[in-house]
Amino acid sequence: MNWDNQDKDPWGGKNDAPDFDDLLKKFSSVLGAKKATSSNGSGSGGGGNKLSSSRIFLYAFFAFLIVYASQCIYQLDASERAVILRLGKFHEEQSEGLNFRLAGIDDRYVENVSLTRRYTQTNSMLTKDENIVDVTVSAQYRIANLKDFVLNVKDPEGSLRNAIESALRHVVGDNTLDQTLTVGRENIAFDVQNRLQAYLDTYQTGLLVQQVNIEKTDPPQAVKDAFDDVVAAREDKERLQNEAERYALSIVPEARGQAQARIRQAEGYKLEVVANAEGEVARFTNLLEEYSKAPEVTRDRLYLDALQSVLSNSTKVMVDVEGGNNLLYLPLDKIMEENKKQENSRINLRRVDDE
């Protein structure tokens, strides 16, 4: 391959490209580095400088266009939005992707509208029953309307901080100390969120409150020990009440059961007494009818029945002999015991024989 021929490329083609030295010379002449040595040269050089100045202006103009275009074209992420102000007046709101603005004329405000922001503050509040309590509240919020966020309020988040304090003071002022410290915290957070959102909508801040939490509620440090004693006493009171209620639930049903049992017994005794009385009345009526028919026979029968009833329950009998001075003693108890022993012996012998 022939490299000596400078007018041709290595593949035999004609090389029409300008020489590098020539390019340097032309560039030097454009910048005015090369000075004319003759008047003719000066005349011709003047025409060349005029042409070079126009080229410089053209190059500078294109360079300015490139830089200006790079400042005008920008890209937004999926979570970002931009508000464009043209000469201080709202022009448009731009979303994700490539966007265009007039640099130097348009003002651009870019914010992340998907980002959830958080703010926490602690303040001393006065409750409904005129007690002081330290409340720590936190709010989670995001930008819902970027145009309102940028244009309507100078410091939207500063307005949010002031609105939180105002809403919290209003709601805590409607609740007692006991509600604020114990069971009412969830309701307080809900009321604060609604009131805070109403304030922000009135101000047209473009902010949306997503959640409000009451992080902590404590009495002031100066009275914390006394308050702890009150809380402990309240817990003891509730514990004793629960124990009393539990004892009542265990003893009252038992007492009611015993009362019902006694009522049943009384009713049964009542029925028994009434039935016995009615039976005695019926027996006496029948006996009266028999007595009216045969008085002496009935009288003797009643006498014998009475003796039988008395003597059947007696274990000792004394017999008076007519015309004598001696009494006959019959030990019926001993006789009955002996008869029982003999009867038991016979029963045992029968069992042995059966086995």
Claim to verify: residue 212 and residue 276 sit in the same structural domain = no
Q: Specify the range with the lowest mean pLDDT, choosing from 17-21, 85-89, 224-228, 245-249.
A: 17-21
Domain match, 278 and 237 both: yes
Final residue of a structural domain among 165, 188, 219: 219
Lowest mean pLDDT among 20-24, 239-243, 313-317: 20-24
Residues 180 and 246 in one domain: no
Mean pLDDT of the chain: 79
pLDDT in tens, 215-229: 988 887 777 787 778
pLDDT of residue 171: 92
Task: From 219, 234, 252, give the residue that closes a domain.
Answer: 219
Do 256 and 342 fall into the same domain?
no
Q: Which residue has the higher pLDDT, 14 or 345?
A: 345
Regarding whether 304 and 232 lie in a shared domain, the answer is: yes
Whether 121 and 169 map to the same domain: the answer is yes
Cα–Cα separations (whole angstroms), residue 166 to 11, 140, 149, 159, 326: 86, 17, 20, 10, 120
pLDDT digits (tens, 9 = 90+) for 71-91: 888 888 888 889 888 888 888
Same domain, 249 and 267: yes
Q: Please indicate, yes or no, if residue 65 is contained in any of the structural domains.
A: no
Residue 305, in any domain of the structure: yes
Report how many domains make up the chain: 3
Same structural domain, 281 and 346: no
What is the pLDDT at residue 324? 59
Q: 309 and 290 share a domain?
A: yes
Residue 3 within a domain: no
Residue 231 placed within a domain: yes
CATH number at residue 189: 3.30.479.30
Q: Residue 134: is its pLDDT beyond 60? A: yes
pLDDT of residue 119: 93
Does residue 10 lie in a domain region? no
Note down the domain range covering 323: 314-355
Which amino acid, 97?
Answer: G
CA distance 94 to 102: 13
**pLDDT tens by residue, 177-210:** 888 887 888 899 999 999 999 999 999 999 999 9
Give yes or no: residues 346 and 334 share one domain.
yes
Residue 87 lies in a domain: no
Using alpha carbons, select from 70, 34, 188, 69 the residue that is nearest to residue 125: 188
**Where among 182, 199, 219 does a domain terminate?**
219
DSSP strand pairing (327-330 vs 317-320): antiparallel
pTM more than 0.95: no
Query: Do residues 241 and 163 share a domain?
Result: no
When comparing pLDDT for 349 and 101, which is higher? 101
pLDDT, tens only, 26-80: 655 654 544 444 444 444 444 444 457 777 888 888 888 888 888 888 888 888 8
* β-sheet with 207-218: strand ranges across: 117-126, 132-143, 207-218
Within a domain: 325: yes
User: Does 16 fall in a domain?
Assistant: no
* Pair (274, 238) in one structural domain: yes
pLDDT(336) > 60: yes
43: left (phi over 0), alpha (psi -120 to 50) or beta: alpha
